[in-house]
Amino acid sequence: MENHDLHHEFVEYDQLIHDLKISDNHFRRLFDEYHKVNKDIYRLESNEVYTDKELNELRSKRLHLKDDLYNILKERS
């Protein structure tokens, strides 16, 4: 299982991620939601008690959140 933490995914934006979590409510909400979904995926994969549909839906949601967050980071950098 890979680490999909945003600080690992976007190392080059580490400081900006930190700054936006403090200053931008929308970014912080997306960030928090991303990490919640990421934890849910990790929990499911660790327990191996899940349906493919359930896991795929969570992965899709995580991907969309990651795209949204990345777009904000690109825009603000």
pLDDT band at 50 (very low <50, low <70, confident <90, very high): confident
Angle, vertex CA 54, rays to CA 28 and CA 33, nearest 5: 5
Q: Is the pLDDT of residue 2 over 70?
A: no
pLDDT (tens digit, 9 = 90+) per residue, 3-20?
688 988 999 999 999 999
Gyration radius (Cα) of the chain, Å: 13
